[in-house]
Amino acid sequence: MPVNLTPPVAAQLLPVAGVSLGVTEANIKREKRKDLLVMQLCAGARVAGVFTKNRFCAAPVTVAREHLAQPDGIRALVVNTGNANAGTGEQGLQDARTTCAALAGLLDCKASQILPFSTGVIMEPLPVGKIAAGLPGCIANMRAGNWHDAAYAIMTTDIVAKAISRQVTINGVTITITGIAKGSGMIHPNMATMLGYIATDAAIAQPLLQRMVSEAANCSFNCITVDGDTSTNDALMLIATGQATLPEIREAGSAEFATLQAAVSEVAIWLAQAIVRDGEGATKFITVRIEGGRDEAECKQIGYAIARSPLVKTAFFASDPNLGRILAAIGYAGIDDLDVAALKLYLDDVLVAENGGRAASYCEEDGQRVMRQNDITIRVALGRGAANATVWTCDFSYDYVKINASYRS
């Protein structure tokens, strides 16, 4: 069950002027579930995004990149669940383009003004006929207040839908940011393995929008892992509709940019943590904080070695303070000149290891007490520099195996 994560409340999700959303049941993989989403954008809205680095990237990722490079402006995004359209070769590219063309015909724009996204099973043909047949239903359902339904429509193995809104005031103008994401398994950077859509009514120059989404991804979706598998379909999109009365943000050094960046990053971090809290089979949410490294890269390297270790993750599932497994993971993280005698390992506030072994002050009862919690922080103080990094992960349970052994059935 998800760890300290409750379903979104529809009334708490704020519309973003310039964005309308419509969902429908297109019967892509199963019947009787909303599995197709169209997000329509006002004229002049800008979109920037970051995508999976998987070489086997899905056809919609390739097409979305192409369309983002066009000058005409994006007018809609279309997202289907139930099929990833990945590992589908030339036919997959055609199917993604057919989807865009079908929606463009309904919205009276060019196919290149549509961004396609897919999530679900890999290496099966996209049922493009069902998607095309479902699009009119999405159009008929189109409303600005549909974020709640949209969050549900993009789920795959997620148990809880993930959606959040924030507002900030910039120069007296209220700016709204609303985001949704899906993801539960196949979660690992780069990119973190999910689909995420964040929209704001602020106006931002295109290069700054790209910078803002990259920074937001780096401090959120690029800091999580569930199973170490990087998906073929990851994408995080940031939409700026420019419908608020605030003048366009054009300077990366401005207070306006910094305030909006902080708010967008906060939304991205909340969504990324929600994905881990709803990680497949998760019963614990684990923050891995590495401090005192020479640079952020080595801190992340050690953080990920701990966060993806099946032995560490099963020990947390069992609430068993078998914490030597954390030391082993630190040791194989690949930092060749790491002085293991110089580091300290903490579990929340409990000093577990120092001087290359168990701390004299450590007692099993203290470790056991922390291990029983749902939210736990592993902190490693390396003592060799000033850099830090944080990675979020979950434990590894019977249910992870169950979910993934029966995913297609």
End-to-end distance of the chain based on CA atoms, in angstroms? 20
Of 98, 301, 322, 368, the one binding a second copy (CB under 8 A) is 322
Choose which of 325, 370, 378, 391 interacts with a second copy (CB under 8 A).
Answer: 325
Smallest distance from a second copy to CB 304, Å: 12
Question: What token pair was written down for 151?
Answer: 């969050």
Q: Which CB sits closer to a second copy, 266 or 354?
A: 354
Place of tokens 């979706």: 221
Binding of residue 336 to a second copy (CB under 8 A): yes
Residue 222 is classified by DSSP as G
Position 247 contacts a second copy (CB under 8 A): no
CB of 255 to a second copy, least distance (A): 38
With binding defined as CB under 8 A, does residue 270 bind a second copy? no
Size of the site for a second copy (CB under 8 A): 69
Q: Does 118 bind a second copy (CB under 8 A)?
A: no
Distance of CA 182 to the CA centre of its chain: 7
User: For the chain, what is the largest distance between any 2 Cα atoms, rounded to a whole number of angstroms?
Assistant: 71
- For a second copy, the binding residue among 12, 44, 53, 361 (CB under 8 A) is 53
Encode 122-139: b = buried (16+ Cβ within 10 Å), e = exposed: bebebbbebbbebbebbb
The reply to whether 332 sits near a second copy by the rule CB under 8 A is yes
| Binding status of residue 232 toward a second copy by CB under 8 A | yes
Return the residues of window 64-93 that contact a second copy according to CB under 8 A.
84, 86-92
* Cβ count within 10 A of residue 320: 13
Active-site annotation holder among 99, 178, 193, 232: 193
Between 351 and 380, how does the x/- string for binding to a second copy read (CB under 8 A)? --x-xxxx----------------------
Active site residue 200: no
Q: At a CB cut-off of 8 Å and minimum separation 6, what does 253 contact?
A: none
Distance (Å, rounded) from C-alpha 271 to C-alpha 237? 13
Q: Which residues, 6 or more positions from 238, have their beta carbon under 8 angstroms from its beta carbon?
A: 47, 48, 49, 198, 199, 200, 209, 212, 213, 216, 264
Query: Residue 394's beta-bridge partner residues?
Result: 285
| Rounded Cα distance, 388 and 409, in Å | 42
What is the smallest separation between the CB atom of 200 and a second copy, expressed in angstroms? 31
Cα 271 versus chain centre, distance: 6
What is the footprint of a second copy within residues 163-202 (CB under 8 A)? 185-186, 188
CA distance 402 to 391: 25
Contact with a second copy (CB under 8 A) among 14, 224, 263, 327? 327
According to DSSP, the residues that pair with 81 across neighbouring strands are 119
Closest to a second copy by CB, 39 vs 57, is 57
Rg (CA), the chain: 22
Q: Is 335 in the site for a second copy (CB under 8 A)?
A: yes
Which residues sit at the interface with a second copy, rule CB under 8 A? 53-57, 84, 86-92, 121-125, 185-186, 188, 227-232, 308-311, 314-315, 317-318, 320, 322-325, 327-333, 335-336, 338, 340-341, 353, 355-358, 396-398, 400-402, 404-409
Q: Which residues are catalytic?
A: 193
